[in-house]
Amino acid sequence: MSAGELILYTTDDGATEIQLRAIDGTAWLSLNRIADLFDRDKSVISRHIKAIFEDRELSPDSVVASYATTAADGKTYQVDHYRLETILDTFLATNELPLLRTAGGVSAKEAEKIAHDRYALFDARRKEAERRDSEEVDEVEELKRIAETAKAVSRKRPSAKKKGGKR
């Protein structure tokens, strides 16, 4: 088996880096990289994988391959890599992790319908709020018009003069 292509993923902030091997369209991760991916200690991941093999959910022959890796000390070591999609599917399913709990639960059509329905509800509420705001503006304008009319009428009205006759 060829060593394939080494792919390196790094988050935008540079805080997380995941390396995987891509061989014939299949992704492979070392135990350390799976631990990085799930942000767990290597021993935790190792126990989970061991349990998967002991329960015979997967066979190591189909999901484990050793690749030569050069370490920081310059020496070459054989490092087990795990077939990503198979290990992750089983790992997530058997260990009840919250990741992908509803994977496949909603089809693309259903998701699109939900999005359209929610937008329609949002849009109806928005239009109702705009209508109420418009009515309030109309009421304020009407009150201003009444106030102006009242001022104009009071200006036109002659002031009451005392009629004083001669006594």
CB 52 within 8 A of CB 94: yes
What's the Cα-to-Cα distance from 51 to each of 7, 42, 89, rounded to whole Å?
Answer: 28, 14, 14
Confidence class for position 5, pLDDT limits 50, 70, 90? low
Question: Does the pLDDT value for residue 15 go beyond 80?
Answer: no
Mean pLDDT of the chain: 77
Question: Does the pLDDT value for residue 118 go beyond 50?
Answer: yes
The fold of the 5-94 domain, in CATH, is Mlu1-box Binding Protein; DNA-binding Domain (3.10.260)
Q: What is the pLDDT of residues 53-93, one digit of tens each?
A: 888 878 888 888 888 888 889 999 998 988 877 666 656 65
CB 58 within 8 A of CB 65: no
Give the sheet arrangement for strand 17-23, strand by strand.
Answer: 5-10, 17-23, 26-30, 76-83, 64-70
Burial of 63 (0-12, 13-18, 19+ CB in 10 A): buried
Domain spans of the chain? 5-94, 106-157
pLDDT the model gives residue 99: 46
